[in-house]
Amino acid sequence: MTASPDNYPKALIRPVQYRDLDWLEGITSENNQIAQNSVSFQGKLQQAKRWFGVLKFLSWFPNSLQDHFRVYVAELPQASDPRLKRLKGFIHISPFNIGRSTWRVEKVMVACDQGEPELLTNPKGVASQLLRHCLENVWEARTWVLEVNINEKNTLALYRQNGFQPLAQLTYWLLEPTLLQTLAQQYVELPNLLPVSNADAHLLYQLDCVSMPPLLRQVFDRNSQDFKTHFLKGLCSKWQRWLNQKEVAQGYVFEPQRKAAIGYFKLNLSKDGSQPHQAQLIVHPAYTWLYPKLLAQMAQIVQKFPCQGLELLSADYQHEREEYLEKLGANPIENTLLMSRSVWHKLKEAKPEGLHLSEMLQGLQAVPRSPIPSRFSWVKKPVNLSEQNQINTQNYHHKDNNNSVESSEKIDKDSK
């Protein structure tokens, strides 16, 4: 159904149902451009087809799997019969932190026919309607974040039209198996390398805060609970790893003098060699000498599994990591842009002075006027009613005495 950009029909947006899963599988299989950083939507789709009833039941009350597969679809009426509707797009969202103040747009996709490319690029098209529906109806969200490939110009324009602004530029690197073998031969001495547990969540939270700029820290809005593994979510993750032939290895470096964590890594390892291993690395900005040691430690762990490459992420504010990876010979495979949008405008602005009322409300400016002359002081003092009455009485008698004196003087003058 084609329409002009000014008079575009309003789509019916609703939560996904079981009958929509086949259509979602078909449209995602046609699009081969899947971001390297996001969790595979195809894998979540297969889990939703297998456990749709259980996930639907878990979405009715608060739990760690409440929003495991939160998808909205858009329907448009057909041109031949407006009573018949067909699916034209979907959006996949999820909470970014455990406080649910920041949400993430995982994927937005629209089925565009040959004669209707405006479904994605039009500010009133299906994609914009899906985004606005989530921005308006997810009442918990204070901030939205997303990640988009810099080469997807239409998708990038869609997000900019809906108020998203860039935060950081991310680069995904691939360490080849030969490079990993070379790193694994290095001698690594990390005496304070400890396993990760829920008791170390506050240490990892402090390391995460110090490793990023203040703006990102405000947008992410994470706390120590985000670094804990809850029972239900941990049980589900173990089941998924067993089913997908994966394993997780993680550890952190503890500094006993400062009693703080200065480095952390997490490896998602593929047992069957079907896909590259993925790594998450956090290093304290004051301890950049940990990069070669932690990478060598991860390379030694990877050697126990099938020969595959290792994917690693770096941001433009992590200059030392990018310089080291370039010097090491890693291959950049993808460049993405991290974007965000504030919905309720609750992010605190970093200013040296407090906000004044005139700055927030420009319409309430003080009207300049000339001062009013008065005998009283401008200093505000507490007034006693009895004293004020006594002063008024004295002024009244003083005025009467002046009038009587003036009248007597006038009579004497007339008599003369």
| Domain assignment of residue 214, given as a range | 164-344
**Structural domain contains residue 399:** no
The CATH code of the domain that includes 62 is 3.40.630.30
Residue 318 falls inside a structural domain:
yes
Q: Once rounded to an integer, what is the mean pLDDT over residues 30-36?
A: 53
Residue 364: inside a domain: no
114 and 197 both lie in a single domain: no
Clarify whether residues 17 and 153 are in a common domain: yes
Q: Is 137 in the same domain as 192?
A: no
Determine, yes or no, domain membership for 387: no
Contact 314, 322 (CB under 8 A): yes
pTM of structure: 0.76
Any domain includes 305? yes
Structural domain ending residue among the three candidates 344, 373, 394: 344
In a domain, 397, yes or no: no
Residue 243 and residue 113 share a domain: no
| Confidence grade of residue 396 (pLDDT, cut at 50, 70, 90) | low
Q: What's the mean pLDDT in 322-345?
A: 90
> Hey, which of 332-336, 374-378, 381-385 has the most confident mean pLDDT?
332-336
Q: Are residues 87 and 34 in the same domain?
A: yes
Q: What is the pLDDT of residue 250?
A: 92
- Residue with token string 């505000």: 380
Residues 161-177 have a mean pLDDT of 94
pLDDT beyond 50 at 183:
yes
Is 273 a residue whose pLDDT tops 90?
A: no
Query: What would the mean pLDDT of 83-98 be, rounded to a whole number?
Result: 87
How many Cβ atoms sit within 10 Å of the Cβ of residue 295? 27
Phi, psi of 314 (to 5 degrees): -140, 150
Give the mean pLDDT of the chain.
80
313 and 200 in a common domain: yes
**pLDDT above 80 (res 395):** no
Q: How confident is the model at residue 223 (pLDDT cuts 50, 70, 90)?
A: very high
Domain boundary among 136, 160, 184: 160
* pLDDT value at residue 305: 87
Q: What is the mean pLDDT of residues 135-143?
A: 91
| Same-domain pairing of 125 and 170 | no
Q: Which of 21-30, 76-85, 296-305 has the lowest mean pLDDT?
A: 76-85
Sequence letter at residue 244 = N
Q: What is the pLDDT of residues 370-379, one digit of tens each?
A: 555 554 445 4
Task: Mark whether 46 and 151 lie in a shared domain.
Answer: yes
Do 146 and 12 share a domain, yes or no? yes
Residue 50 is predicted with a pLDDT of 81
Long-range contacts of 238-246 (CB under 8 A, 24+ apart): 240/47, 244/43, 245/270, 245/271, 245/272, 245/274, 246/270, 246/271
Q: Which of 111, 141, 160 marks a domain boundary?
A: 160
Classify the phi-psi angles of 325: left when phi > 0, otherwise alpha if psi is within -120 to 50, otherwise beta: alpha
Please determine, for residue 49, whether its predicted confidence score (pLDDT) is greater than 90.
no
Could you tell me which residues are beta bridge partners of residue 282? Answer: 264
Three-state SS sequence of the chain: CCCCCCCCCCCEEEECCHHHHHHHHHHHHHCCCCCCCCCCHHHHHHHHHHCHHHHHHHCCCCCCCCCCCEEEEEEEECCCCCCCEEEEEEEEEEECCCCCCEEEEEEEEECCCCCCCHHHHCCCCHHHHHHHHHHHHCCCCCEEEEEEECCCHHHHHHHHHCCCEEEEEEEEEEECHHHHHHHHCCCCCCCCEEECCHHHHHHHHHHHHHCCCHHHHHHHCCCHHHHCCCHHHHHHHHHHHHHCCEEEEEEEEEECCCCEEEEEEEEEEECCCCCCEEEEEEECCCCCCHHHHHHHHHHHHHCCCCCCCEEEEEECCCHHHHHHHHHHCCEEEEEEEEEEEECCCCCCCCCCCCCCHHHHCCCCCCCCCCCCCCCCCCCCCCCCHHHHHHHHHHHHHHHHHHHHHHHHHHHHHHHC
Residue 214 and residue 271 in one domain: yes
Specify whether 5 is located in the same domain as 141: yes
Q: Which of 12-16, 170-174, 242-246 has the least mean pLDDT? A: 242-246
Q: Give the total number of structural domains in the chain.
A: 2
Residue 182 lies in a domain: yes
Give me the pLDDT at residue 39, please. 47
Q: Report the candidate in 216, 218, 223, 217 with the shortest Cα–Cα distance to residue 201.
A: 223
- Both 153 and 189 in one domain: the answer is no
What would the mean pLDDT of 304-313 be, rounded to a whole number? 90
In a domain, 356, yes or no: no
Residue 94 pLDDT grade (very low, low, confident, very high; cuts 50, 70, 90) = very high
